[in-house]
Amino acid sequence: MTIDVRDLRDFDGMLKRRIEGFRAKLGDWLAPHRLTLAEARVHRVLVPMVGVYTPGWQALPACSWAFVELVTNEGLVGTGEWSIELPEETRRALDEIRAQPTRNLLDPELEAPLYMAWWDLVGQALGRPLHQLWADLFERGFAPPDRVPMAAYTWQRFADIQGRDAVTFERWPEHAQMRARQGFPAVKLSLTAYQPEEHVELIHRVREAVGPAVRVRFDAHGAWNLQEARRILRAVEGCNIEFAEQPMNALLPQRFYPPGEAAPDRSPASGSYQGEFYFRHMTQLRREQPIPLSCHWWTPPIVHDPGAGVMANCWELNWHLLERYDAADISSPDIGLGPWGLWRLYELSRFMGMHRTLHSNFEMCLQLYFRCAMASALMYDGDAAGLYLGTTPRACHPIDNETIQVGDDVIEGGPFDWTGGHLRLTDRPGHGLRLDPERLSKYVYNEQAVAPYRAHAQKLYANYLLDRPRTTTQAGWPKPGGPERFDRQAYPYRLDQILEAQSKPQDVDVQLNREVSA
């Protein structure tokens, strides 16, 4: 099947032209302002998790984040957060501005490497909260909401060093019910730990525990094959599932080639077997059953120019896939695209009639707040009407919250109060958050801090015992008793860098995603 996408090509061309105007407008706003660096502070912290975080069959009793504070000679401080460790491009940018103390920190070239800290300074220089600034910059035409609804992200968890806060197959519905009683309007389940079909019982029990008013969504993280996804989705049709994310596996091409030999590079126009395989079956799955599907590779699918940064907004839609497949109901992009790319992608998803949410990150409260400001300004729809034509109604979904897995935070005031399940945006300029020196000192990243958590993780890896043992291996053959065995891990971030202990070979699937979509 081939779909006529000429109108989508025209629409995307218009979006690119508008972005050039928006960039020029921001340049005009910033022209009277100048900020220079007095001091750049870099922090890395190790913060305990609630229980033991287990994404991608990991065992993480504590996780790390990096922060940058840009202290200006003009009295403003811009603050940014990065997952696990500071990226190399940010370190290079900090070295450059330290060597050029008269450089204007509001230079647009610094947006990508300094990201949240740069936009924080922009908001402060202009005297605007970020969600209001972006709504005006991108001419959204309404006042963005100051309350952003959350989905409580829940995982199977091992107990922490003190034996507390495990989430097991039996206790998971109770845990989800606790989040619902806090006021979260949605609960998300990460369904990778147990035998695929056993999640059917879990979903039914969670739906009963949280009641009919709370939305239930789940993410299989591509851990099910197509046949399993068919069986499971059909078995939970009556549970009023908000959406299912990544319900089936995709082929990652590099996995099939020997070490050191690169997979063939296919042009965006021709597509590739791996992309065709995945999106063809996602399209089939979407047609076969009524549960909406979400996939952060179909947002809609895009291809980044070789050598261009993700935030450069130099990507193109994957026209080859768009002309052949209709693989997802819900657009779930990541804030790594930056405001320019995120606005463009959301406008495309609106034009295509897709629903929208915002993909979660490995984050603490500063990054979550930044993400909520983007959701308020760029994702939300302000239109209201009775007889409704022109815009898909009720298309905006609560965004996932992973900070509830973290035991503390390093911002002033500590973690947000999640009573009510929403994040309230401030009217302070920028993102309005500052780091707490006492908490930074308490959670400073060093070998003394890492050692006990690493020892606990190694015990778990040596005897990876699930409370609900799997009955088959990943290959599908009957599994002998005893702990789980796995020879490699996959996750968007190199999690082994946190506790400085290489556990297993790991695929960093964010990078591989770019290859699949291409």
210 lies in some domain: yes
What CATH code is carried by the domain that includes residue 340? 3.20.20.120
Q: Tell me the CA distances in angstroms from 147 to 118, 155, 398, one per residue in order.
A: 24, 25, 11
pLDDT at 512 over 70: no
473 lies in some domain: no
Is beta strand 399-401 parallel, antiparallel or unpaired with respect to 147-154?
A: parallel
pLDDT at 518 over 50: no
Q: Are 2 and 323 in contact (CB under 8 A)?
A: yes
**How many domains would you assign to the chain?**
1
pLDDT band at 263 (very low <50, low <70, confident <90, very high): confident
According to the model, what pLDDT value does residue 58 have? Answer: 87
pLDDT at 474 over 80: yes
Burial label for 234, CB within 10 Å (0-12, 13-18, 19+), is middle
31 lies in some domain: no
38 lies in some domain: no
Structural domain range at position 221: 134-382+391-432
272 lies in some domain: yes
According to the model, what pLDDT value does residue 49 have? Answer: 97
437 lies in some domain: no
Give the tens place of pLDDT for each residue, 332-362: 999 999 999 999 999 999 999 999 999 998 8
Cite the DSSP H helix spans in 319-446: 319-322, 338-352, 365-374, 437-442
Q: Are 465 and 28 in contact (CB under 8 A)?
A: no
Q: Which residues pair with 424 in a beta bridge?
A: 147
pTM for the complete prediction? 0.95
